[in-house]
Amino acid sequence: MRVLVISTPVDTHFLPLLPLIRALADAGHEILVTGQPDVTRPAEAAGLAAVTFGDAFHSEDLRGGRRPAGMRPIEVFGRPDRQQIGGVAQVWRNHVPYFLPDYLDLAREWRPDLVLSEHMEFAGSIIGALLGIPNVQHRWGVNPTAPAMLNFVRLYQGPVCERLGLDHVPVPDLLLDPAPPSLADREAPAASQIRPVPHRDQGTPWTYRTAPGRRVAVALGGHTLELGGASLLRRVVDVLAGLGGVEAVVSAAPEHREAIGALPDGMTYTELTAPGLLFPGADLAIHHGGANSTLGAAALGIPQLVLPQLGDAFVAGDRIADAGAGITLDSAELQNDTARLADAVRALLDEPSYRADAAAVRAEIDAMPSPAEVAVELEQLAVGREVRA
């Protein structure tokens, strides 16, 4: 079976697809990834064949807005409401026409048996309908896009589909959700489960030197640091130092470290970013609410302190807190309050209920279908479908 993989041009949207892609490849299926360099670079780094169209998208340009220097988006704009968070779907709906002709030409030449896309790459369903092959969409995390917003997106895809000869706006044949039941968004359309697997780069997992109990992984994400987050990370480091006896690994690229400052004893900088390398062995993960971090820590049964800055990270933090698997501080006031940060970290390290509830979430994830099992389902989905030229 040939599988064409398409993603919106954000690496963190593509990376959650990798476990399923690898399962398909391990089963002997041929994979081809296409998109802008933001997607094809990590695909090629993972050893996958890729075809690149256009220039880098630079999604960070959409996130920062016009802000005073050194201020984070949450300090300027506050927490977005539900409609604003779901409205990101409009950005990716607008993006579809730019590369749809290129993707369609490639698909007609390569003749895939199935199109796999993440859930905001709406071109995948259109290509699947035009070629008469199944399209499978894969959410990247805790999905906040309500049915009303998706219907609005599809309404505005109508003219594009009509010009291509379709009399309807297609929907995916199968929608996959990596969020376990306790974290799945209540308003999201129903979907089939797929077990999330913590993302791992090609590096070596971090080795913690102290005994379990006060090991902390801090990974606020590169975009957080690029958007004025150095002072927040410094505050987190100082809180950990003040608690005493904490061993921490702090993920930060070298260009941000001068702004953050030297780390106290027992703490080490790393360039590692993948949760599957940073989080195993930790007693607490402090992160920004990104999909890979949230579901990676959940899959490992690690309590989480979520410090969201943008978009659906706020929803992820809410779901972790509601499940009892962590704490979210979802305002600039809370995040900038050293005492509140210290209280949250202390509770997550010392109160056993958080670890128990995190273990319960992990048990849910362990019971979900594995990527290898889902790969078999996709193969069965493609059987009997003929490709139209």
Domain assignments of the chain as residue spans, ordered by start: 2-196+369-382, 215-366
Give how far the C-alpha of residue 271 lies from the chain's centroid of Cα atoms, to the nearest Å: 19
pLDDT tops 70 at residue 281:
yes
Distance CA 339, CA 356 (A): 25
> Binning pLDDT at 50, 70 and 90, where does residue 257 land?
very high
Distance CA 328, CA 320 (A): 8
Give how far the C-alpha of residue 306 lies from the chain's centroid of Cα atoms, to the nearest Å: 14
Distance CA 304, CA 291 (A): 13
pLDDT tops 60 at residue 380:
yes
pLDDT tops 80 at residue 147:
no
Query: Measuring CA to CA, which residue among 333, 324, 305 is closest to residue 362?
Result: 324
Q: So what CATH class is 215-366?
A: alpha beta
Q: What does the pLDDT look like over 180-215, one tens digit per residue?
A: 999 998 777 889 999 999 988 777 899 999 999 999
Mean pLDDT for 265-283 is 95
Mean pLDDT for 174-183 is 96
* pLDDT value for 195: 97
Distance CA 7, CA 119 (A): 8
Residues 11/42, Cβ–Cβ less than 8 Å: yes
Residues 102/138, Cβ–Cβ less than 8 Å: no
Mean pLDDT for 142-159 is 80
Residue predicted with more confidence, 60 or 91: 91
Residues 314/77, Cβ–Cβ less than 8 Å: no
* pLDDT value for 302: 98
Q: What are phi and psi of 67, to 5 degrees?
A: -130, 150
Structure tokens at 25: 């490849």
Q: Hey, what amino acid is at 111?
A: R
- What percent of the chain clears pLDDT 70, i.e. is strictly above it? 97
Pinpoint the alpha helices (H) of the chain: 11-14, 18-26, 37-45, 60-64, 73-77, 82-86, 88-110, 123-131, 147-163, 222-226, 230-243, 254-260, 275-278, 291-300, 313-322, 332-335, 338-350, 352-366, 371-382
> Binning pLDDT at 50, 70 and 90, where does residue 78 land?
confident
Domain 2-196+369-382 grouped into CATH 3.40.50.2000: yes
Number of Cα atoms under 13 Å in the Cβ half of residue 66: 0
Question: In a 10 Å sphere around its CB, with 0-12 CB exposed, 13-18 middle and 19+ buried, how is residue 312 labelled?
Answer: buried
Least-confidence region, from 166-170, 320-324, 333-337, 358-362? 166-170
Q: What is the pTM of this model?
A: 0.92
Quick check: helix, strand or coil at residue 60? helix
Mean pLDDT for 378-385 is 84
Give how far the C-alpha of residue 246 lies from the chain's centroid of Cα atoms, to the nearest Å: 28
Distance CA 260, CA 279 (A): 21
Mean pLDDT for 50-62 is 87
**Domains 2-196+369-382 and 215-366 equal at CATH topology level:** yes
> Binning pLDDT at 50, 70 and 90, where does residue 389 land?
very low
pLDDT tops 90 at residue 388:
no
Distance CA 245, CA 228 (A): 29
pLDDT tops 60 at residue 57:
yes
State the chain's mean pLDDT as an integer.
92
pLDDT tops 50 at residue 269:
yes
Per-position DSSP letters for 69-135, written without gaps between them: TT--HHHHH-S--HHHHHTHHHHHHHHHHHHHHHHHHHHHHH--SEEEEETT-THHHHHHHHHT--E
Least-confidence region, from 9-13, 40-44, 77-81, 276-280? 77-81
* pLDDT value for 201: 77
Residue 113 φ/ψ region, left for φ over 0, alpha for ψ in the -120 to 50 degree band, beta for the rest:
alpha
* pLDDT value for 157: 87
pLDDT tops 70 at residue 64:
no
Mean pLDDT for 221-241 is 93
Residue keyed to tokens 């005493």: 244
Query: Measuring CA to CA, which residue among 93, 91, 99 is closest to residue 151?
Result: 93
Distance CA 247, CA 240 (A): 9
